[in-house]
Each structure stands twice: as C-alpha cells, then as structure tokens.
C-alpha cells in the first residue's frame, strides 16, 4: 500500500469503547495506522466506517 514492496495487512477493527468500526493497517515495516474507530478520517467529517459494508479480495489481474 505504501510502495515499499513489503507486504501490508489491513484488518477491519472495532473500538470497544464506542463500537465504531475502522481499519488497522499494518505496513511491512511494522508501522501500524488506524483509520476511523471514532477518530475523524482524513478530515472528511466521518469517524465510523460501518457504511463500507463488506470487502472482498480480488485477483491482481
């Protein structure tokens, strides 16, 4: 995801305090970033990613 050619992982996570959903991004260099979960996302005025519905993995092709 960050272009360093190391495998990254994305997990859907839920904040246990406010029950809001978000993403946990674990980069190949072991850095971790959280989006949502009650914290505003990228200055766009939303903090809960529950509206994303579902994700599915697609082949690279």
Against a cut of 0.85, is the pTM above it?
no
Residue range 52-61: mean pLDDT, rounded? 67
pLDDT of residue 57: 66
In DSSP terms, 36 is beta-bridged to 22
pLDDT of residue 45: 79
């Amino acid at each position: 995801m960050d272009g360093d050619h190391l495998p990254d992982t994305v997990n859907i996570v839920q904040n246990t305090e406010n029950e809001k959903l978000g993403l946990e991004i674990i980069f190949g260099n072991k850095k971790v970033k959280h989006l949502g979960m009650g914290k505003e996302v990228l200055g766009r005025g939303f903090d809960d990613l529950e509206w994303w519905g579902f994700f599915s993995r697609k082949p690279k092709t």
